[in-house]
Amino acid sequence: METLEQMLTDKEVAGVLKLHRSSVWRLARIGKIPKPVKVGFNAARWKQSELKAFLEAAA
């Protein structure tokens, strides 16, 4: 059975990285963190597994 992927908002990612929301978007735009996935017309979310893998690789 497949489990659902946990998706994080920019606010949640900012909390994890201890950054401001605008910094999260800037880092994603320049490729320093994984890019978000569009989940609607005006909504984007980060996959928790991708963010976790990124943080583990960066440590």
**pLDDT digits (tens), the chain, 59 positions:** 567 889 999 999 999 999 999 999 999 999 999 999 999 999 999 999 999 999 999 87
18 belongs to a structural domain: yes
1 belongs to a structural domain: no
State pTM to two decimals: 0.87
16 belongs to a structural domain: yes
Owning domain of residue 24: 7-58
Structure tokens at 22: 């605008």
Q: Which burial class, exposed, middle or buried, applies to 10 when counting CB atoms under 10 A from its CB (0-12, 13-18, 19+)?
A: buried
49 belongs to a structural domain: yes
CA distance 6 to 17: 17
2 belongs to a structural domain: no
Report how many domains make up the chain: 1
Q: Do 8 and 40 touch, CB atoms closer than 8 A?
A: no
The bridge status of strand 37-40 relative to strand 7-8 is unpaired
